[in-house]
Chains A and B, each alone.
Chain A
Amino acid sequence: AQRVTQPEKLLSVFKGAPVELKCNYSYSGSPELFWYVQYSRQRLQLLLRHISRESIKGFTADLNKGETSFHLKKPFAQEEDSAMYYCASQHHNTDKLIFGTGTRLQVFP
């Protein structure tokens, strides 16, 4: 069965520091992977998906099939990046998202 693991519940950094939110998936095929962000009192929003290979708000994520990881990175964190971040996977023959437990990112001034 698909599983998404986010080992860190909370990650605290100072403004300007690099950030890496870890995500590992367990699936033998090639799932589609996403990062969703939830700012305080707002809905879940798509941040980026691996198939797009985009950089959104300075965040990037690279799919590493060897390590089955899809870590989210940003070189210089900003206070407005403080939010809950969920990694999610989607198998190619089903439409449901499998979410990780989420990592709360706190960026201090």
Chain B
Amino acid sequence: AAGVIQSPRHLIKEKRETATLKCYPIPRHDTVYWYQQGPGQDPQFLISFYEKMQSDKGSIPDRFSAQQFSDYHSELNMSSLELGDSALYFCASSATGVGDTQYFGPGTRLTVL
């Protein structure tokens, strides 16, 4: 069965650069979630979208923005990168939003030098 796809899998950037992470949900899933997992930490919710509209927002820095496109894929844009942004970024998708199972992608490992 098709799973959530994330690209790139690994990304290395310098401080103050920008990065774009992409997430392709499972077909027919209309909700996308982004989580950030720092080294040795639990995943922290960043933001979610349902039917291309932002549905919830967590501890996402103002330097980050995200959107969901008409084909339901989502992009997380990160600007003015800081060393502390180095983390594993997970995307998850679900079919109906609240209460439905979230299926996770493999993650994008971002390293900021």
Write the residues of chain A forming the contact surface with B, with a CB cutoff of 8 angstroms: 32, 36, 42-46, 49, 86, 90, 92-102
Q: Which chain A residues lie closer than 8 Å to B92 at the CB level?
A: 44, 97
Q: Which chain B residues lie closer than 8 Å to A86 at the CB level?
A: 42-43
Do A95 and B56 touch (CB < 8 A)? yes
A32 to B97, CA, bound (A): 13
Instruction: List the one stretch of B18-26, B67-75, B77-85, B103-111 in contact with chain A.
Output: B103-111
A80 to B8, CA, bound (A): 29
A36 to B63, CA, bound (A): 29
Q: Does B101 contact A (CB under 8 A)?
A: yes
Do B43 and A92 touch (CB < 8 A)? no
Q: Closest residue of chain A to B104, judged by CB?
A: A44
* Partner pick for A96 among B45, B101, B103, B106, CB 8 A cutoff: B45
A90 to B44, CA, bound (A): 13
Q: Which chain A residues lie closer than 8 Å to B31 at the CB level?
A: 95
The 4 closest A-B pairs by CB, nearest first: A96-B45, A44-B104, A99-B42, A43-B106
Q: Closest residue of chain A to B37, judged by CB?
A: A99
Q: Which chain A residues lie closer than 8 Å to B106 at the CB level?
A: 42-43
A46 to B93, CA, bound (A): 12
- How many Å from the CB of B22 to the closest CB on chain A? 16
Within 8 A of A (CB), among B5-36: 31, 33, 35
- How many Å from the CB of A94 to the closest CB on chain B? 6
